[in-house]
Amino acid sequence: MSLLSRKTIVIGGGALLLFFLPLVAKLTGQPYLLSLGSRILIYALAAVSLDLLLGYSGMISLGHAAFVGIGAYVVGISQFHSYEATPFLSAPFLLSGSENGLFVLPLAILVAAFAALIIGALCLRTTGMHFIMITLAFAQMLYYFFISLEKYGGDDGLSLYARNSFPGIDLSDDRHFYYLCLTALGLFLLFTCRLVTSRFGLIIRGAGNNDRRLKGLGIRSTSYKLVTFVIAGGGAGLAGALLANQTEYVSPGLMHWTLSGELMVMVLLGGLGTLFGPVLGAAAFLLLEEGLAMYTEHWMVYMGPVLILAVVFAKRGLFGLLAGGNSRDD
């Protein structure tokens, strides 16, 4: 019981901190905290979605950034066409550009999820090391694909003219944008927490733990894994769409495999299979990056060994340290 309450305290404290961060930023006169906060929330969203794959269903995807990139490009391309007043598609149906967030954000989720459906269906023909390499290869394929898309800036990417419009709120106001990100992360966490304790979640946790045994029970896990892959892809797509809005810029670099690797690092640092851990991991990673970058431009030369040590010695991650005991699930 005391463990449970400790976990609740950590989560509740974190939520309060995130909720009042804009106030802190205003009082301390550090508006820069807001944009850092938004970045943390967005990366956290992507990391939570990756945790569904790594921590629960045992799918080690090294290509998760592809879906972040797709989500971002949906925002970028959609706005490009809206600005140019040219349709994106004229056949088989008319699809014109838009900069309305209520339309573009769901579209980003759907497109990323659809891409995850196709890539996942191919990747799930394999397991183990093959799966890792193939997810990486597909992400790289998309990376090169977007580099070759001269129309949308190719290697240089696309600059947004402004953030998406949203009825009732003004996303160009950093505070409004921050709360949009916080809401998105909160809703996604709520959804994933329900998901992993549902019957569906039980199956994917079983698949992540011992896939052969699951087959012995008469359950073929492939379709469950594929749906998980699609959900995770959709979550990453949402993160990408928010990221595009935050930086007002999209580029193939978002799909680069180093971003996939960094998302993985966030999940591990925070705590594998904990959902809330990756939020902590994203915060720790980005703060560490900012902090180290202040002292040396070569911060990665320290981050690398830190990561290796974390892998070898601290498997439970930060969330495990803070929340203690059996923080995995509830």
Partner 1 sequence: MLLVIEQLLNGLQLGITLFLMSAGLTLVFGIMQVINLAHGSFYMIGAYVGATVAAKTGSFLLAIPAALGAAALVGAVVEIVILRHLYKREHLDQVLATFGLIMFFNELTLMIWGRQPLFMDVPGPLAQSIEILPGLPYPVYRLAVIGVGLFVALALWLLFAKTRAGMKIRAGASNRDMIGALGVNINLLYTLVFSLGALLAGLAGVMAGPVLAVQSGMGESILILTFVVIVIGGIGSIRGAVAGALLVGLVDTLGRAFLPVLLRLVLESSAADSLAASLASMAIYILMAAILVWKPRGLFPAHA
Partner 2 sequence: MTDAILTVTTLCKSFGAVQATNDLSFTVRRNDIHALIGPNGAGKTTVVNQLSGDMLPDSGTILFNGVNISRKKAYQRARLGIGRSFQITHIFENLTVAENMSLAICAHSGHNFRFLQHFRRSPPVLRELAKALARVDLLPRAELPASHLSHGEKRQLEVGMAMVGNPELLILDEPMAGMGPGGTAELSKLIRRLKGTLTILLIEHDMDVVFSLADRVTVLVYGENMATGTPDEIRRNTKVRAAYLGEES
Applying CB under 8 A, which residues contact partner 2?
Answer: 194-195, 197-203, 205-206, 209-210, 212-220, 224, 227, 326, 328
Distance CA 59, CA 49 (A): 12
Give how far the C-alpha of residue 172 lies from the chain's centroid of Cα atoms, to the nearest Å.
22
* Cβ-based nearer residue to partner 2, 151 or 212: 212
Q: Which of 151/212 has CB closer to partner 1?
A: 151
In DSSP notation, 249-292 reads EE-GGGGSHHHHHHHHHHHHHH-TT-SHHHHHHHHHHHHHHHHH
**Closest CB to partner 2 among residues 42, 203:** 203
Least spacing, CB of residue 163 vs partner 1, in Å:
29
**Measuring CA to CA, which residue among 137, 139, 91, 147 is closest to residue 116?**
139
**Nearest approach, Cβ of residue 327 and partner 2 (Å):** 13
Q: Exactly one of 10, 42, 50, 136 binds partner 1 (CB under 8 A); which one?
A: 136
User: In terms of CB distance, is 125 or 298 closer to partner 2?
Assistant: 125
Taking CB under 8 A as the criterion, the residue among 16, 194, 298, 330 binding partner 1 is 298
For partner 2, give the closer residue by CB, 89 or 202: 202
> CA-to-CA distance for 34 and 224, rounded, in angstroms?
38
Degrees, nearest 5: CA angle 160-72-226: 170
Strand partners, 169: 166
Residue 73 is a binding residue for partner 1 (CB under 8 A) = no
Nearer to partner 2 by Cβ, of 217 and 312: the residue is 217
Question: Looking at 184, 241, 264, 280, which residue binds partner 1 (CB under 8 A)?
Answer: 264
Q: Which partner from the list partner 1, partner 2, none does 64 bind, CB cut-off 5 to 8 Å by kind? A: none
The label of the residue with tokens 């953030």 reads 163
Q: Are 123 and 222 in contact (CB under 8 A)?
A: no
* Closer to partner 1 by Cβ: residue 172 or 209: 209
- Closest distance of CB 303 from partner 1, Å: 6
Q: Which of partner 2, partner 1, none binds 253 (CB below 5-8 Å, type-dependent)?
A: none
If contact means CB under 5 to 8 A according to the sort of partner, which of partner 2, partner 1, none does residue 62 touch? partner 1
149 touching partner 1, by CB under 8 A: yes
Of partner 2, partner 1, none, which one does residue 216 interact with (CB within 5 to 8 Å by kind)? Answer: partner 2
Residue 33: name the closest of 239, 234, 178, 250 by CA.
178
Nearer to partner 2, 125 or 213 (CB): 213
Closest C-alpha among 232, 219, 330, 194 to residue 274: 330
- Tell me: does residue 265 bind partner 1 (CB under 8 A): yes
Q: Smallest Cα–Cα separation from 114: which of 65, 67, 56, 57?
A: 67
Element (H, E) at 87: strand 87-89
CA 296 to mean position of chain CA atoms = 27
Q: Pick one of 83, 144, 161, 191: the residue that binds partner 1 (CB under 8 A).
A: 144
Question: How far is the C-alpha of 20 from the C-alpha of 278, rounded, in Å?
Answer: 20
Instruction: Provide the b/e sequence for 258-275 (b: ≥16 CB within 10 Å).
Output: ebbebbbbbbbbbbbbbb
| Residue 36 lies near partner 1 (rule: CB under 8 A) | no
**Across-strand partners of 320?**
none
307 binds, among partner 1, partner 2, none (CB under 5 to 8 A by kind): partner 1
Q: How far apart are CA 248 and CA 193, in angstroms?
A: 31
- Contacts with partner 1 by CB under 8 A lie at 54, 60, 62, 122, 125-126, 128-130, 132-134, 136-138, 140-141, 144-145, 147-151, 257-258, 261, 264-265, 268, 272, 298-301, 303-308, 310-312
